[in-house]
């Protein structure tokens, strides 16, 4: 009966750009294998697109991930995929999510659910076969739209209409939804900046501020992951112009002090903003000449590699830099001893922070993008055999002196220069 009611009241037939969007996914991926595997599993099994990919197709955005919802329990999903020899792994099976993998493309398949218990961080769920029930537990109307493989929509909360009208509406009671998962505070900001055509509802802002203390209970990984989604979204640059969103972000992330930088970027920074990665953009916001970087690293669980990038960049700009610092021969040292990535971070940081574009720095970026990482041509054994330098402290000193000249001379050194160093 529920499926019949769904078909009568909530489905919409789309013979337009929406169908073409889903047709593109079908043509460019093997998603139809997933649909076929589920539909052939039993006479009642059904699978639909859901969430971000549906929202983005309706809004004519680029689809970068594919989420699917299914009315089977996780174990049955695994069995259905196994029967068709589709690889998968249990990425979040306790919450009903299985990730299928075909030709290196991931498809997240989540069983329909209803929340049994929530504490603001985690939800205890019970699996369901009711599509309306699953939609009811989602955060916003624009995220509760489902579609079959042809692009026919199941939209019980009129999310398509809200998306087209630029309305970011919670499903149900706003405070209840936020208290179920405090991460929805950040999700609200991201979706509002990306999709809203209205001013904030003061009631929603007041409820969010009232419940900000709950955000502190969320893991640093989840917080940073959601902030990354905001930072790399098209709406992020509106943040500095939205006083309510900006105030909330500043309260949640007090270490991110330089967001105003993005309000007055030079032409190069604007053009390359979406090309640089998250850690670099973070560096622009947290490096401020204090110990803020160390505090940020302590507060948030970054990888060792990302920590190293931030620490190096922070140390570089804490030191006294002059115009000589940014000569190619001096930058070669950073390139050789610290890596291409570290050197490009240094140059991009300088360019992004500048009010005007420095074409000399832009030229250096292009040079070091193409420059091959050199190998020191002289080894200790060469000096010992060819130049009769005895093993010991003197050998190390001579080798270091040769390396310094070689680096400062754009990784070139003549036999005459080596002979001179060895002879002194």
Q: What is the structure's pLDDT at 11?
A: 57
Q: What is the structure's pLDDT at 172?
A: 93
Give the mean pLDDT of 301-312. 94
Residue carrying the six token digits 């075909």: 102
d(CA 80, CA 413): 65
Give the mean pLDDT of 391-404. 88
pLDDT averaged over the chain?
90
Beta strands 97-102; 47-50: pairing state: unpaired
Q: What is the structure's pLDDT at 95?
A: 79
- Scanning 354-392, the segments in alpha helix (DSSP H) are 359-370, 380-386
Buried/exposed 252-275: b ≥16 CB within 10 Å, e otherwise: bbebbbebeebeebeebbeeebee
Residue carrying the six token digits 């020899």: 85
Give the mean pLDDT of 53-78. 94
Tokens of 374: 């050199």
Q: What is the structure's pLDDT at 410?
A: 87
- Cβ contacts of residue 341 below 8 Å, gap of 6+? 309
pLDDT score of 121 more than 70: no
pLDDT in tens, 356-378: 999 999 999 999 999 999 888 88
Q: What is the structure's pLDDT at 5?
A: 41
Length of the chain: 424
User: Residue 71: which pLDDT band, with cuts at 50, 70 and 90?
Assistant: very high
Tokens of 78: 């695994």
Q: What is the structure's pLDDT at 116?
A: 65
User: Residue 117: which pLDDT band, with cuts at 50, 70 and 90?
Assistant: low
Q: What is the structure's pLDDT at 320?
A: 83
Q: What is the structure's pLDDT at 4?
A: 45
pLDDT in tens, 143-188: 999 999 999 999 999 999 999 999 999 999 999 999 999 999 999 9
pTM: 0.85
Tokens of 166: 């630029």
CB 22 within 8 A of CB 49: yes
Burial of 360 (0-12, 13-18, 19+ CB in 10 A): exposed
Tokens of 33: 């294998």
Q: What is the structure's pLDDT at 92?
A: 75
Q: What is the structure's pLDDT at 386?
A: 83
Give the mean pLDDT of 261-279. 92
Q: How many CB atoms lie within 10 A of CB 213?
A: 10
User: Residue 354: which pLDDT band, with cuts at 50, 70 and 90?
Assistant: very high
Rounded to a whole number of angstroms, the distance between the first and last alpha carbons of the chain is 94
Q: What is the structure's pLDDT at 388?
A: 83
pLDDT score of 236 more than 60: yes
DSSP string, 142-189: GG--EE-TT--EE-TT-HHHHHHHT---BSS-HHHHHHHBTTHHHHHH
Domains and CATH numbers, the chain: 1-170 (3.30.460.10), 173-253 (1.10.110), 258-373 (no CATH), 380-423 (no CATH)
User: Residue 122: which pLDDT band, with cuts at 50, 70 and 90?
Assistant: low
């Amino acid at each position: 009966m529920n499926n019949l009611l769904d078909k009568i009241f909530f489905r919409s037939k789309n013979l337009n750009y929406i169908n073409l969007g889903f047709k593109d996914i079908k043509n460019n991926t093997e998603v139809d294998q997933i649909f076929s595997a589920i539909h052939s599993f039993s006479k009642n099994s059904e699978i639909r697109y859901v969430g971000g990919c549906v929202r983005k197709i309706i809004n004519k955005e680029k689809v970068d991930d594919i989420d699917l919802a299914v009315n089977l329990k996780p174990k049955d999903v695994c069995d259905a995929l196994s029967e068709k020899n589709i690889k998968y792994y249990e990425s979040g099976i306790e919450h009903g999510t299985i990730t299928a993998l075909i030709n290196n493309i991931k498809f997240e398949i989540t069983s329909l659910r209803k929340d049994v218990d929530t504490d603001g961080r985690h939800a205890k769920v019970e699996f369901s076969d009711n599509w309306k029930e699953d939609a009811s537990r989602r955060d916003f109307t624009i995220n509760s739209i489902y579609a079959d493989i042809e692009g026919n929509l199941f939209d019980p909360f009129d999310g398509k209409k809200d998306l087209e009208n630029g309305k970011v509406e919670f499903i149900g009671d706003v405070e209840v939804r936020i208290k179920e998962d405090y991460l929805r505070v950040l999700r609200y900001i991201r979706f509002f900046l990306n999709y809203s055509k209205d001013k904030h509802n003061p009631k929603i802002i007041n409820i969010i501020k009232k419940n900000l203390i709950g955000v502190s209970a969320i893991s640093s990984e989840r917080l940073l992951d959601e902030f990354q989604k905001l930072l790399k979204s098209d709406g992020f640059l509106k943040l500095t112009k939205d006083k309510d969103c900006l105030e909330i972000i500043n309260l949640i992330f007090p270490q991110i002090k330089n967001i105003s930088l993005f309000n007055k970027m030079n032409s190069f920074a604007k053009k390359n903003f979406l090309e640089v990665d998250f850690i670099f953009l973070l560096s622009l916001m947290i490096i401020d000449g204090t110990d803020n970087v160390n505090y940020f690293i302590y507060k948030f669980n970054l990888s060792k590699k990302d920590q190293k990038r931030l620490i190096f960049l922070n140390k570089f700009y804490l030191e006294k830099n002059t115009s000589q610092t940014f000569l190619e021969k001096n930058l070669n040292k950073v390139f050789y001893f610290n890596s291409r990535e570290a050197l490009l971070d240094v140059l991009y940081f300088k360019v992004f922070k500048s009010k005007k574009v420095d074409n000399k720095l832009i030229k250096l970026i292009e040079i070091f993008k193409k420059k091959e990482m050199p190998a020191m041509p002289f080894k200790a054994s060469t000096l010992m055999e060819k130049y009769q330098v005895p093993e010991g402290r003197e050998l190390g000193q001579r080798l270091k002196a040769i390396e310094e000249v070689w680096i400062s001379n754009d990784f070139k050194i003549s036999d005459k220069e080596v002979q001179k160093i060895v002879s002194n």
